[in-house]
Amino acid sequence: MGQHRHLRRGTRWAAVVATAAVLGATLVAGVGGPAGAQKSGGDIRFGLEAETTGGFCIPTAQLVVSGIQVAAAVYDTLTMPNTKDEYVPNLAESVTPNATFDQWTIKLRPGITFHDGTPLNAAAVKQNMDAWKKGRLFQFVYSNMGDVTVVDDLTLNVTTKTPWPAFPGFLYLQGRAGIAAPAQLSNTETCPTNLIGTGPFKLKEWKVNEALTVTKNESYWEKDAKGKALPCANSITFVPIPDSPQRETQLQGGQLDMIHTSSAQSIDSIENSSGLDIVFDQKGNRETRYYQINASKPPFDNPTARQALAYALNTKEINTIRNKGLFTLATQTMDSNSPGYLKKSTYPKFNLKKAQELVSQVKAANGGSFDVTFLTTNDSENGAEGQLLVEQANKAGMNAKLTQVDQSSLVNELLGGNFSVSLVRNFHSDAAFGDVANYVWWSKGSPVNFSKFDDPNVQAALDAGRTSTDPAALAEAYTTFNEAMGKGVYVVPAWYSIWGLASKGITGQAGAPLPDKSKALVLNGRFPVETLCKK
């Protein structure tokens, strides 16, 4: 039997909010132990679920899980989440709000350099933050951020347009907010391919759709739990393999040393395989699989049509067939550790008779038509899931079909609103601040509000949650938000996905302790790479 280890989560989110709200506290991190020699950790081949074809110019990149995983090797973030559901300083030495949470002082850790030898300083971080405010997607994410001012070589002041208690979480942004070197950001033509960070590995070579190789950063600032220099591995080669069964086959056959996967089929197979190891997260902050509805176009600009789809889809049946029933069914977009999680959801539940009645109403108002296209990636397992959705929708009386594209194309179709329903796996379960996981994805006018809806009840709740400095008020705001999402039926929740990191002959999956000695939290499928070693 394969070994499996859970990367467990710690206490609730409220502690960090309450402490900061009452005290206006400074988030301060300690420093690592003394440097020591590290053994050679070998060369690791890591199978990813997709290529990041648009590149890694952080302010403009469209990073999904595979891209975030590569970014973890090259870039560090100013803060990191820990298993106590806090965001603690990382590249930053401290992140301090004023009493009203609309001005923040960031002090950087001294002595850190980028891969090209230039220093990490306040000017470099300001350049990153100023670029964030101009990026295609980041400009909305950081629209609440005002002026960024350099105080001295290692200190910045950042103003925000409203009180923003979740600001430390946005300095991590689910692993997307890596700090890039000025040399990378200054050249817009080469920025997507000239990866320069402060992270544990440096870019060696990238052949798009073949492999991206990074090599050990001998000057890396972080240490392991015993004070030894990191990283351990000499190199990591990331290989994009979109099809989940193929990734697993190559791991089993030794062509790969490790893979990441959210496939229940692969997780089940790996756990029952001799010689393989797998780590994965547990309930509380998991990603959610859901079916995203485009509410801006017919037929789903009609609320009755959205309700009809929700009643038509039997997610329990799909989970049983495709996931062997291993995943927990989701009744909402957020997981149980999140502020606003509902024990009794307001989303419609499967009811075929009710679906057929509503489909008839929609057809009567639309000349007899109710056409639906399900959009997903070209992964074989997603295709099989999509076929089940088509069958269920047709059984309810709709005219449904399936379209499959590569992952980058899927993101572009979602951004452009060129779909009716898409199979989506996304992260909406940030336990520290609901703001980080929900405000960006569901607000009016956000480019990643793929459902393209404008619901005043949803927006009012999101705005209240963003500015709240009181944990009880925050939870109340996100409860209201969650109820409004269910009533609007902009998505159909399916189940909570588990991200697994499977390997053969690899150690160090848990990662190094954070600078304050707390344990890093695996969030949104971003696994640590700095401690990975071949046995």
Q: Where are the domains of the chain?
A: 3-282+499-534, 287-497
Backbone angles phi, psi at 437, to 5 degrees: -95, -15
Contact 288, 429 (CB under 8 A): yes
In angstroms, the CA 435 to CA 439 distance is 5
Q: Give every CB contact of residue 28 below 8 A, 6+ residues apart in sequence.
A: 89, 93, 94, 516
In this predicted structure, the answer to whether residue 32 has a pLDDT above a threshold of 60 is no
User: How much is the pLDDT for 36?
Assistant: 44
DSSP 510: T
User: How much is the pLDDT for 34?
Assistant: 39
In this predicted structure, the answer to whether residue 6 has a pLDDT above a threshold of 80 is no
In this predicted structure, the answer to whether residue 310 has a pLDDT above a threshold of 60 is yes
Structure tokens at 197: 């960070």
At 62-80, the pLDDT tens digits run: 999 999 999 999 999 999 9
At 337-393, the pLDDT tens digits run: 899 999 999 999 999 999 999 999 999 999 999 999 999 999 999 999 999 999 999
In angstroms, the CA 439 to CA 344 distance is 22
Instruction: Tell me the residue type at 469.
Output: T
**Torsion from C-alpha of 110, 112, 113, 115, nearest 10 degrees:** -170
Q: What residue has token string 């403009």?
A: 60
Contact 212, 206 (CB under 8 A): yes
Helix (H) or strand (E) holding 292: strand 287-293
Of the candidate ranges 177-181, 274-278, 432-436, 488-492, the one whose mean pLDDT is the lowest:
432-436
231: preceding bond cis by omega (within 30 degrees): yes
| Among the listed residues 210, 263, 267, the one whose alpha carbon sits nearest the alpha carbon of residue 237 | 210
User: How much is the pLDDT for 131?
Assistant: 98
User: How much is the pLDDT for 86?
Assistant: 93
Give residue 155's pLDDT band: very low, low, confident or very high (50, 70, 90): very high
User: How much is the pLDDT for 39?
Assistant: 58
At the topology level, CATH places domain 287-497 in Dipeptide-binding Protein; domain 3 (3.10.105)
| Among the listed residues 331, 340, 284, the one whose alpha carbon sits nearest the alpha carbon of residue 523 | 284
User: How much is the pLDDT for 40?
Assistant: 72
In this predicted structure, the answer to whether residue 12 has a pLDDT above a threshold of 50 is no
Tally Cβ neighbours within 10 Å of residue 442. 26
Q: Which numeric CATH code is attached to 3-282+499-534? A: 3.40.190.10
Q: What is the mean pLDDT of the chain?
A: 91
User: How much is the pLDDT for 22?
Assistant: 34
Note the pTM of the prediction, 2 decimals.
0.90
In angstroms, the CA 357 to CA 351 distance is 10
At 95-106, the pLDDT tens digits run: 999 999 999 999
At 381-438, the pLDDT tens digits run: 999 999 999 999 999 999 999 999 998 899 999 999 999 999 999 988 887 778 888 9
Contact 407, 422 (CB under 8 A): no
User: How much is the pLDDT for 37?
Assistant: 46
In this predicted structure, the answer to whether residue 44 has a pLDDT above a threshold of 60 is yes
In angstroms, the CA 175 to CA 89 distance is 14
In this predicted structure, the answer to whether residue 263 has a pLDDT above a threshold of 70 is yes
Task: Return the higher-pLDDT residue of 85 and 196.
Answer: 196
Secondary structure tally for the chain: helices H, strands E: 16, 22
The most confident of the ranges 14-28, 224-238, 426-440 is 224-238
In this predicted structure, the answer to whether residue 323 has a pLDDT above a threshold of 50 is yes
In this predicted structure, the answer to whether residue 20 has a pLDDT above a threshold of 90 is no
163: preceding bond cis by omega (within 30 degrees): no
In this predicted structure, the answer to whether residue 484 has a pLDDT above a threshold of 60 is yes
Contact 296, 475 (CB under 8 A): no
Q: What residue has token string 């320069």?
A: 196
Of the candidate ranges 112-116, 278-282, 364-368, the one whose mean pLDDT is the lowest:
278-282
In this predicted structure, the answer to whether residue 93 has a pLDDT above a threshold of 70 is yes
Tally Cβ neighbours within 10 Å of residue 117. 9
Of all residues in the chain, the percent with pLDDT exceeding 70 is: 93
Query: Which own/partner pairs from 297-305 qualify as long-range (CB within 8 Å, at least 24 positions apart)?
Result: 297/417, 297/420, 297/452, 298/366, 299/362, 299/366, 299/369, 299/370, 299/371, 299/372, 299/420, 300/420, 300/421, 302/362, 302/365, 303/488, 303/489, 304/358, 304/361, 304/362, 305/358, 305/362, 305/370
Q: Give every CB contact of residue 522 below 8 A, 6+ residues apart in sequence.
A: 7, 279, 281, 499, 528
Structure tokens at 200: 């544990």
CA distances from 42 to 215, 216, 299, 506, 532 (A): 11, 10, 54, 10, 9
In angstroms, the CA 80 to CA 288 distance is 22
Backbone angles phi, psi at 188, to 5 degrees: -65, -30
Taking only Cα atoms into account, the Rg of the chain, rounded to an integer number of angstroms, comes to 23
Which residues on neighbouring strands pair with residue 487, listed in sequence order?
none
Burial of 418 (0-12, 13-18, 19+ CB in 10 A): middle
In angstroms, the CA 254 to CA 265 distance is 19
| Among the listed residues 159, 8, 125, the one whose alpha carbon sits nearest the alpha carbon of residue 519 | 8
Q: Give every CB contact of residue 218 below 8 A, 6+ residues apart in sequence.
A: none
Give residue 35's pLDDT band: very low, low, confident or very high (50, 70, 90): very low
Contact 88, 97 (CB under 8 A): no
Contact 351, 311 (CB under 8 A): yes
Structure tokens at 439: 């405000």
Give residue 33's pLDDT band: very low, low, confident or very high (50, 70, 90): very low
Give residue 10's pLDDT band: very low, low, confident or very high (50, 70, 90): very low
List of E strands, 418-488: 421-426
Q: Give every CB contact of residue 409 below 8 A, 6+ residues apart in sequence.
A: none
| Among the listed residues 254, 269, 316, 250, the one whose alpha carbon sits nearest the alpha carbon of residue 289 | 316
For every residue of 499-521, which 3-state class applies, written as one string? CEEEECCEECCCCCCCCCCCCEC
Contact 437, 338 (CB under 8 A): yes
User: How much is the pLDDT for 429?
Assistant: 84
